[in-house]
Amino acid sequence: MALLQAESITVCVDNRPLLSDVSLEVEAGELVCVIGPNGAGKSTLLTALCGETAMDNGWVNFKGTPLHNLSARNRARQVAVLPQNNPLTFAFTGLELVSLSRTPHSTGNERDRQICQEAMAMLDVNHLSERLYPTLSGGEQQRLQLARVMAQIWRAEDGGDRLLLLDEPATSLDIAHQYGMMRAVRDFARSGVAVVMTVHDLAHASGYSDRILALKQGHSMAYGSAESVLTAENIQQLYGYSVTVIPHPLTGRSLVVADV
| Distance linking the first and last C-alpha atoms of the chain | 44
Residues 6+ apart with CB under 8 A from 111: none
Q: Let me know how long the chain is.
A: 260
Domain containing residue 231: CATH number: 3.40.50.300
Cβ contact 43:13 at 8 Å: no
> Lowest-pLDDT range, 31-35, 83-87, 201-205, 254-258?
83-87
State yes or no: pLDDT of 18 exceeds 90. yes
Q: What angle do CA 224, 168, 132 make, to 5 degrees?
A: 150
Q: What angle do CA 141, 147, 150 make, to 5 degrees?
A: 145
Residues 6+ apart with CB under 8 A from 65: none
Using one digit for the tens of pLDDT, what is the confidence trace for 187-225?
A: 999 999 999 999 999 999 999 999 999 999 999 999 999
Burial level of 106, CB count in 10 A (0-12/13-18/19+)? exposed
Alpha carbon of residue 149 to chain centroid: 10
DSSP per-residue string spanning 151-218? HHT--HHHHSSEEEEEESTTTT--HHHHHHHHHHHHHHHHTTEEEEEE-S-HHHHHHH-SEEEEEETT
Q: What pLDDT score does 77 carry?
A: 94
Q: What pLDDT score does 144 carry?
A: 97
Cβ contact 44:53 at 8 Å: yes
Q: What is the number of structural domains in the chain?
A: 1
> Lowest-pLDDT range, 41-45, 118-122, 177-181, 248-252?
248-252
Alpha carbon of residue 187 to chain centroid: 13
pTM value is 0.96
Q: Domain containing 76: what range? A: 4-258
Cβ contact 166:143 at 8 Å: no
Cβ contact 133:90 at 8 Å: yes
